Amino acid sequence: MDRIVMILGAAGNFGSKIVSNLVKANTRLVLAGRTKNSLELLESNIKALYPSAIIEIAVFDITKEIVDQLTRLKPFIVINTCGPFQNVDYFVATACINFGIYYIDLADSRRYVGGFHNALNNITIKNNCLAVTGASTVPCLSSAVLEHYKEEFGSIDSLIFGITPGQKTERGIATVAAILSYLGKPFAPYPGSKITYGWQNLYLQDYPVIGKRWMANCEVPDLDLLPQYYGLKYIKFSAGMENTILHFCIFFLSWLVRLGVIKNLANYAKPLLKLSFLFDYFGTADGGMHMIIHGRDKDNNLKTLKWFIIAKNGDGPHIPTIPAIILTKKLLQRKLNIKGAIPCINLITLEEYLNELKEYNIKVYKNEI
C-alpha cells in the first residue's frame, strides 16, 4: 500500500499550499479538516489540475476524533497546520507518536516548540519514529541561514532578524491569533534582552527592492533555540506590517494590553482580521525577511553579514510551507533516519530550502561588511 500523508488543516492558507506541492510529487494524501465544503473545493481544484491525484477527504475535529481517524486511515506521516499553537498542548502530536506515525507541525510558539523535545522525546524514540516541530520559516530557515554562513565567521555574537509580509499577502485567522496572543505582554528573558513587550521597540528596517518597513518585537522559538545552537550573546526578532498606519494601530493595541485596558486581544482575532483587509488597497503583495549577523571573522576582525529573502506577487506564504514539504519527501524516500522529538533545526540545508522555492517569485540578496 502507498504511504499516506495526512494534512491537518488542509484547506487552510498553509495546508493548501502543502497539498498542491505534494500532489505534484505523486503523494497519496488525506485532506483533513472540520469543514466539508472547503475540503471538497480544494479536492475539486486539485483534481482539475492533476486528474490522477490520489486524494481522500476526512472531515473531523482533531481535538475530539484524532485517535479514531488515525486508527481508521493509518497514515505514515501527519502534517499539522492547525495553528495557532500558542495555547495548545501536545495531544495531537502524542496521538500520532503513540501509533508510530511520523509527525510534523508548523508551530511558531516559543513555549510549544521549546518544550516539545522534553515532553515527547522519550515516547517518540520508544515508538521508533520522528516528530518535528517548528517546521516553518522560524526556526528552520533562520537556522539554515546561520548554518550555511557560520564557517565564514570565527564567532557569531548577535543576530537581528525579522519578517514583514506584504499587505495583500494571504493571511488567516491562525496567524492573526498567534500575533495577538503576545501583543503587549512581557517576554520571558533571552540572551541580550531586558524587559521586552510584544509589538513594541519599533524600528525601521531597510530591505532591497521593497524599501523600508516598520518592525516590532515578536516572540518566536528562535529566541531560545538559536543561542543554544550557535552561542549567540544577543538576539532580536521582529515583525512588521507593510502599511504604516496598520503597524502603528497594532502598536497602540499593544499598549492597551500592557496597561491592562484589554486583557485578551486573541478574542478579537476575527474582527481584527477583517479590519486588516481594509488596508489592502494601500499595499502590495511583496514581503521579505532580513537576517543581520554580527561577529568576527577567522582573523578576529569585526564582520557583519546581511541576508535578505524577498517574495513578490504574493508568493511569501510559500516560504513557511517548505520545511514540511521537504521533510515529507525525505521521509517518503527513506532519506531521513533520525528518531526522536526535535525542533526543525539543521534538518534542511539552505540550498535545499531555496531550491524548493525556485518556481516562485522569490529572490535572495546578500552583502557583507
- 104 against 178, higher pLDDT: 104
Q: Give the C-alpha separation, 325 to 52, whole Å.
A: 20
As given in the structure block, the three cell numbers for residue 266 are 486573541
Q: Are 106 and 135 in contact (CB under 8 A)?
A: yes
Angle between helices 91-98 and 62-73 (to 10 degrees): 20
pLDDT tens-digit readout, 124-178: 999 999 999 999 999 999 999 999 999 999 999 999 999 999 999 988 788 888 8
As given in the structure block, the three cell numbers for residue 236 are 532580536
Look-up of cell digits 488542509: 10
355 pLDDT exceeds 90?
Answer: yes
343 pLDDT exceeds 50?
Answer: yes
Angle between helices 142-149 and 222-230 (to 10 degrees): 20
Give the burial class of 52: count Cβ atoms within 10 A of its Cβ; 0-12 exposed, 13-18 middle, 19 or more buried.
exposed
33 pLDDT exceeds 50?
Answer: yes
pLDDT tens-digit readout, 75-103: 999 999 998 998 899 999 999 999 999 99
1: pLDDT confidence band, cut at 50, 70 and 90? very low
What is the average per-residue pLDDT within 304-312? 98
Domains of the chain from N-terminus onward:
4-137+317-356 (3.40.50.720), 138-315+363-368 (3.30.360.10)
Q: Give the C-alpha separation, 50 to 275, whole Å.
A: 36
Give me the pLDDT at residue 57, please: 97
Give me the pLDDT at residue 369, please: 67
The pTM assigned to this predicted structure is: 0.95
For 217, phi then psi, to 5°, come to -55, 135
